[in-house]
Amino acid sequence: MAIREAIRDDFEQIGPIFHEIAAAGETYGYPRDITQEQAIELWIETPRKTYVFEENGEILGTYYIRTNQLGPGDHVCNCGYMVSSAARGRGVATAMCEHSQVIARELGYKAMQFNFVASSNEGAVRLWNKLGFTTVGRLPKAFRHPSKGYVDALVMYKWLEP
C-alpha cells in the first residue's frame, strides 16, 4: 500500500470511483451527472495537489488538497476524499486523512477545514471526529440527499499546529 501524488493519467482509475460517488449524490455537492472533463478539472487540475492510495497497482482511494480561501485565509486548506466502494472499511480514508495532514503541514498550512460534510454521512463525521476535527458550523438543510431529503451540512475544522 502506498499513497503517492496523482498524475493526470491516474484519472483512468480515479474516474470510476469519482463517478460512482458523484452519481450516488449522498456525500458530495457535485452534479450527479458530472462530465468526465468537469471531474478532471475539479479533482486533478484545480487542487494544489491530488494523491492516490494504491495497492498492487490498483487505486483504492484518492484525495485532493487545496487552499480554502485566498489572502488572509490562505493558511487553511480544504481536502476531499473518495474511497472505492470495494475498499471501504479497510482504513483507506483514515490513512489518506492522516497523510493529508502531514502534506498540509509540509505545504505550510496551519489548519484544515471541511466546508460541506453531509450530516447524513455518519461514517465520515465519526472518522473526522476521531481524527481531531471539530464541527464548528451547521448549515440547516443545506444538503439535498437523494433519499433522506434535506439534511444539514457541517463545517468541520482542525488546527494543525501544536
What are the tens digits of pLDDT across the range 125-140? Answer: 999 999 999 999 999 9
Integer Cα distance of 62 and 65 in angstroms: 10
Please check the confidence at residue 1 and state whether its pLDDT lies above 90.
Answer: no
Q: Is residue 20 part of a domain?
A: yes
Please check the confidence at residue 24 and state whether its pLDDT lies above 90.
Answer: yes
pLDDT category at 118 given cuts 50, 70, 90 is: very high
Integer Cα distance of 79 and 66 in angstroms: 6
Q: Is residue 151 part of a domain?
A: no
What pLDDT was estimated at residue 77?
Answer: 98
What are the tens digits of pLDDT across the range 7-16? Answer: 999 999 999 9
Q: What's 17's domain CATH number?
A: 3.40.630.30
Domain that holds residue 31: 2-114
Q: Is residue 133 part of a domain?
A: no
Integer Cα distance of 67 and 6 in angstroms: 18
Q: Is residue 48 part of a domain?
A: yes
Please check the confidence at residue 123 and state whether its pLDDT lies above 90.
Answer: yes
Q: Is residue 33 part of a domain?
A: yes
Q: How many structural domains are present in the chain? A: 1
User: What is the DSSP pairing of strand 111-118 with strand 76-83?
Assistant: parallel
pLDDT category at 91 given cuts 50, 70, 90 is: very high
Q: What DSSP state is assigned to residue 9?
A: G
What are the tens digits of pLDDT across the range 29-87? Answer: 999 999 999 999 999 999 999 999 999 999 999 999 999 999 999 999 999 999 999 99
Nearest to 47 by CA among 22, 21, 80: 80
Please check the confidence at residue 161 and state whether its pLDDT lies above 90.
Answer: no
Please check the confidence at residue 162 and state whether its pLDDT lies above 90.
Answer: no
| 3-state class (DSSP) for residue 38 | helix
Q: Is residue 38 part of a domain?
A: yes
Residues 91, 81: contact at Cβ < 8 Å? no
Please check the confidence at residue 146 and state whether its pLDDT lies above 90.
Answer: yes
Q: Is residue 138 part of a domain?
A: no
- Name the residue with cell 472505492: 84
Q: Is residue 140 part of a domain?
A: no
